[in-house]
Amino acid sequence: MNRVIIFANGDLPNLEKARALLRPDDFILCADGGTRHALALNLTPNLIIGDMDSIDSAERKTLEERNIPIELFPRDKDETDLELALNKAVEMDSNEIVIVAALGGRMDQTLANIALLSNPQFVTRNVYLDNGIEQLQFCRTQAEVRGRSGDIVSLIPWGNPVHGIQTQNLKWKLDHETLHPEKSRGISNEMTSDTASIKIESGLLLIIHRRQ
């Protein structure tokens, strides 16, 4: 299965930086209001999923004209539209899922969007949030961050302490150390190369990479 790009309904601060994330063979999946971002990038979504409460009449007309398939769900449901889109991407057996425009706007939605990535079903998949400026991913054993020297990388323990952290190519190196969720030690490290690596022994570590 090709890589799946999911457009959520959060903020997209820079269209051109978001465009740089795309590949010609990506499967474009929009979570309801995320359709606006895909259309703004002149993309034709492969599928729209959700309750359609965040799509205006002009966007709906465009979808109808292009005959874009829609999986419609009721407004009263237990999952957000983004969770439904993620479930669909997993059902499609995609090993790489990029969620675009999942940050900003309502804080509750932003936190819920980040929390979705902590689902154990993603242990064997490469799933991350990216808006072209910031990329978020969870590290369960090891992870790699690709960018440029000087980029900011923050390491945030998710819920519980993370033990045995080892880093390479970060300015302030961690060598089998522990980070605690109630302390801010892992914030604002810096890449010293185009690639940085992180390994952990236990816990769940949120990695936030901000491109300079």
List of long-range contacts for 84-91, beta carbons under 8 Å, 24+ apart: 84/31, 84/49, 84/50, 85/6, 85/8, 85/29, 85/30, 85/31, 85/34, 85/49, 85/50, 86/6, 86/116, 86/119, 86/127, 88/29, 88/47, 88/49, 89/4, 89/6, 89/29, 90/121, 90/125
- Residue 61: pLDDT band (50, 70, 90) is confident
pTM score, two decimals? 0.93
Q: Are residues 108 and 88 in the same domain?
A: yes
- Over residues 179-196, the pLDDT tens digits come to 999 999 999 999 999 999
Q: Please report the pLDDT score of residue 144 as a whole number.
A: 97
Q: Are residues 170 and 105 in the same domain?
A: no
Of residues 78 and 145, more confidence is placed in 145
Q: Are residues 51 and 11 in the same domain?
A: yes
Residue 92 is part of a domain; what is its CATH number? 3.40.50.10240
Q: Please report the pLDDT score of residue 75 as a whole number.
A: 83
Q: Are residues 173 and 104 in the same domain?
A: no
62 domain-assigned:
yes
Q: Please report the pLDDT score of residue 64 as a whole number.
A: 84
Q: Are residues 101 and 185 in the same domain?
A: no
166 and 198 in contact (C-beta within 8 Å)? yes
137 domain-assigned:
no
Q: Are residues 21 and 121 in the same domain?
A: yes
- Over residues 140-152, the pLDDT tens digits come to 999 999 999 999 9
Domain boundary among 76, 100, 132: 132
How large is the greatest C-alpha to C-alpha distance in the chain, in angstroms? 56
pLDDT over 70 (residue 27): yes
d(CA 210, CA 212): 6
Of residues 106 and 150, more confidence is placed in 150
Q: Are residues 60 and 151 in the same domain?
A: no
pLDDT over 80 (residue 173): yes
99 and 6 in contact (C-beta within 8 Å)? yes
- Tell me the HSE value of 203 on the side-chain side, using a 13 A CA sphere: 23
Q: Are residues 21 and 76 in the same domain?
A: yes
Q: Please report the pLDDT score of residue 54 as a whole number.
A: 81
Q: Please report the pLDDT score of residue 52 as a whole number.
A: 85
- Residue 69: pLDDT band (50, 70, 90) is very high
List of long-range contacts for 75-79, beta carbons under 8 Å, 24+ apart: 75/51, 77/51
Strand partners, 46: none
Q: Please report the pLDDT score of residue 1 as a whole number.
A: 67
Total number of domains constituting the chain: 2
Mean per-residue pLDDT, 94-112: 93
Looking at the chain, how many residues does it have? 212
Mean per-residue pLDDT, 59-72: 88
Indicate left, alpha or beta for 51 from its phi (over 0: left) and psi (-120 to 50: alpha): alpha
Q: Per mean pLDDT, which range of 53-62, 120-129, 150-159, 194-203 is the poorest?
A: 53-62
Rounded to the nearest 10°, the torsion over CA 70, 73, 74, 80 is: -120
Q: Are residues 13 and 75 in the same domain?
A: yes
Q: Please report the pLDDT score of residue 2 as a whole number.
A: 79
pLDDT over 90 (residue 77): no
Residue 159 is part of a domain; what is its CATH number? 2.60.120.320
The domain containing residue 113 runs over which residues? Answer: 4-132
